[in-house]
Structure 1
Amino acid sequence: MTLLDPRIAPPRTLEELREDVVRRIKGNGYPGRGIRLADAAAAMTALTSLDPDEWASVWTVAGDRVVEEAERTTRPDEQRELFKTAFSTYTMGRFPTPVTPGKRAAYDKALAAYMRYADLLPQKLEVVRIPFEGAEIIGYFRKPEGPGPFPLMVQCGGLDFWKEQVADEALSYLPHGICVFGMDMPGTGQSPIKGDVGSERIFSRVFDWAETRADIDSTRMFMRGVSWGGHWATPVAIAEKDRLLGAINHGGAVHHFFQPEWQLKALGTREYLLDLFGARANVFGVKTLDEFLAYGSRMSLLIDDQIDRPCAPMLVMNGAKDSQVPIADQLLLLQRGDAKEAWINPKGVHMGFGAGWGPERTIRDIIAPWLLKKLAQHDSGQS
């Protein structure tokens, strides 16, 4: 576990952690969605310390059991769902980020289980590897049936919601004729770079790749970032204003989130399941709290008035009661720069969820209609 500065809330005790994990999974709460209660109970019973590799080990054992079940069944639908469950279980083992040997091993198993699940879906998943600065961008591409070319949405996840979950969300866009490229935001998952000023260039490289594909209509492209990943939608909307029909900042940071006052407030609570500081610090590749606070402040979009630069059309989304990213960041976006559209749930928490709004409804009722509206405006020659 990351050594904590006294300004950071102490971790849960072992008993508190066990109880909170089971409580969240009983309520299908994040980050336990998709994990079976019996598997969680067994893992928490086996957990005897707060050591991160023991945490990884008990979830890896649970995930291995689910994989064994999947390999025994002869029913394809059941096998597919079991591999998906195994992915969720291993993902809890690497949670929030794989920075120890045991967590890295759990993450490797999560990736393998996800691919076995994806191979059993009727919708093909293409693993894309794009050369990038001596390394590679690894992304998941899903497209509707037919030759295309299709409009494209590039989407990144956030702090611990990565491209595998994004690739599953992509299934909601295929019926609308939209293909999706899911990727990890800088500093997470398999991203080849850390989060830093200028890291939005990684998304530009993906749009370059899209222009080489006959099945993608590169005149009809979008960007969406969720949670912390929503931050990247704004500099991308600025950098790629001439290539994008729109960008969606869904609960992403702009300025206030990066300030020490907000970070110390967030890190002083135990709302997050475990090691929030370790996960956030890893995005930047720093170790100490002072390094993190100084580094984060560089990311503000108020520096050099970036927020005021011309940008692609934007949809700004969040909940007014968000405790992870202050709603003041979304209000800044609406008050500065080009005119933007917004969906703010007055009763919603992070990303606007709650009060009858969840991920599925938000995509169905807000995001997909906005994308389709922008496509229709483009096709009719409107700005």
Structure 2
Amino acid sequence: MDEWILGEKFNTVYPHHGSIQSLWEKKWKSCRGVKDCYSESYTEAFLSTAENLSSEAELAEKRGDSETAVRLGFRSACVFRISRFPHLGPQDAGLKRHAFERQKEIYLRTGALMKCPIDAKFIQFSHRLDQEGLEIPVLQRLPLGHGDRPHPVILIMTGLDGYLTDNTALTDRLIQRGWAVVLCEIPGTADCPTDPKDVSSPDRLWSSVIEWIKEQACFDPDRIVAWGLSAGGFYAARIAFTHAGQLLGAVAQGAGTHYFLSPEWLSRADGHEYPCSVTEALASKYGFDSVEELISQGQEKFSLVLSGITKLPSCRLLLINGEDDGLCPIEDSMELADQVSGRELIIVKNRMHMGNPDAQPQVIKWLTELLD
């Protein structure tokens, strides 16, 4: 790329990098001198606070104070979430896995107390290969009064570090519109059963999930829309082509599609707005053994543009991101928009990765026009 839209920021190392201490001072405050997000000492620093909040939530639930139990339970889950930051893969163990298991336990206990409960479901991975897991974990939320008719479904594809248990506020907004929500983790993250090294694994994943959705009486099989968040945006862009006939539309928010895996971009991405080394997380997520392998092989293997998938017919596709995104360049959304007929592109000025908070209301407006 001769000149990135990010401009001089492309070569800038943002001031919170270098150590957790500088990150905390610039964004979070001081954090006990811990210097590596990937270390267990980082995770350990949060656990006592998370457990204390969980205990307080349980006490509130026992005395019948559901409102306080929900508030404290979700706070506990949030602290556990940041403790296992920035990335957890299906095969990862250790303290971060422990934190994630505790987060799931507390999140589901808390979600069951809500007026519109958060329900865990396990879908048969009907299109799995032999080396892949048997079940696909998803979360489901239905709007109030869901028994009267089938509802449109928003299939949320989660991100690199935000998983099933990290999207309560978003699902609140969606069910308030009368839409059902199904959340699913993407290959190489959390509990996703797919082989992250296999380029075609997401296609088998989504085929299994969509088949399950169409079997449920509470969902309208003719009004399914995929919404990919951050790293999930890659899969929302992909599914718009691979499953075009089964979707009413797709939203790729903050999506990397081609340039984000180029050696040139990856050489500078660790210095941008992500609080830790994003290349280390991406290498693990895409099934590479090292950052060096990601840099040398990632784009050729996973680029949607080089794969030829973008030459297939697509469903309606909204591409939206912040113009100043330092993780997935806005050029990725622009490149895909140039290649896809009927595509819609929104560039959010003066915003970084994903374009929030300005982007989300625009996506919901687009969904409303599509579904209602």
TM-score normalized by structure 2?
0.85
Quote the Cα distance in structure 1 between the aligned partners of 2:120 and 2:106.
Answer: 14
Aligned-pair distance for 1:309?
1.6
Deviation per residue, 1:56-89 (Å, 9 max, x gap): 2221122112112223333321121111111111
Q: Name the structure 1 match of 2:172.
A: 171
Q: Aligned partners of 1:261 and 1:293: how far apart in 2?
A: 9
Q: Find the counterpart in structure 1 of residue 141 from structure 2.
A: 142
Aligned twin of 1:80: 70
Unaligned stretches of 5+ residues in structure 2: 1-12
Matched, 1:235 2:238: yes
Cα pair 1:126 1:141 within 8 Å, conserved: yes
Instruction: Choose from 342, 366, 370 the match for 1:370.
Output: 366
Give the superposition deviation at 1:49: 6.5
Instruction: Tell me what 2:118 maps to.
Output: 125
Alignment of 1:1-383 (within 5 A): 16-21=19-24, 23-25=26-28, 44-45=31-32, 50=36, 52-73=39-60, 74=63, 75-98=65-88, 99-132=92-125, 133=128, 134-145=133-144, 146-147=146-147, 148-195=149-196, 196-201=198-203, 202-267=205-270, 269=271, 271-297=273-299, 298-353=301-356, 358=357, 362-363=359-360, 365-376=361-372
Q: Which range is displaced more, 53-62 or 151-160?
A: 53-62
Structure 1 residues 199-224: Cα deviation after superposition (integer angstroms, max 9, x where no partner): 32211211110111111110111111
CA deviations on 1:214-248 (whole Å, 9 max, x unpaired) are: 11110111111011110111220111111111000
Q: How many residues align?
A: 341
Residue identity (%): 25
| CA displacement, residues 122-152 of structure 1 (integer Å, 9 cap, x when unaligned) | 1122211011124211000111122221111
Q: Kindly indicate whether the alpha-carbon contact (under 8 Å) linking 2:53 and 2:73 is maintained by their aligned counterparts in 1.
A: yes
Where does structure 1 differ by over 6 angstroms across 4 or more consecutive aligned residues?
A: none
Distance in 1 between the 2:114 and 2:50 partners? 20
Q: Is the 8 A contact 1:230 1:250 kept in 2?
A: yes
Asked whether the equivalents of residues 233 and 255 of structure 2 are also in contact (C-alpha less than 8 Å), the reply is: yes
Distance 1:20 1:290, change over 3 A: closer
Per-residue deviation, 1:100: 4.6
Q: Distance in 1 between matches of 2:240 and 2:123?
A: 21
Are the equivalent residues in 1 in contact too, given 2:334–2:345 (CA < 8 A)?
A: no
Q: Partners in 2 of 1:276 and 1:20 — Cα distance? A: 14
Q: Deviations over 1:3-58 (max 9, x none)?
A: xxxxx99x966xx41352365346xxxxxxxxxxxxxx7xx34x666471122222
TM-score (structure 1 length as normaliser): 0.83
Partners of 1:258 and 1:296 within 8 A in 2: yes
Cα distance in 1 between the residues matched to 2:239 and 2:216: 20
Question: Structure 1: which amino acid aligns with 2:283?
Answer: A
Given that 2:225 and 2:250 are in contact with CA atoms closer than 8 Å, whether structure 1 keeps it comes out as: yes
Sort the Cα spacing of 1:322 and 1:212 in 2 relative to 1 into closer, same or farther, 3 A: same
> For residues 122 and 341 of structure 1, what CA distance do their matches in structure 2 show?
35
**Partners of 1:316 and 1:285 in 2: how far apart?**
26
Q: Secondary structure at the match of 1:160?
A: coil
TM superposition shift of 1:277: 2.8
Measured on the aligned residues, the alpha-carbon RMSD in Å equals 2.3
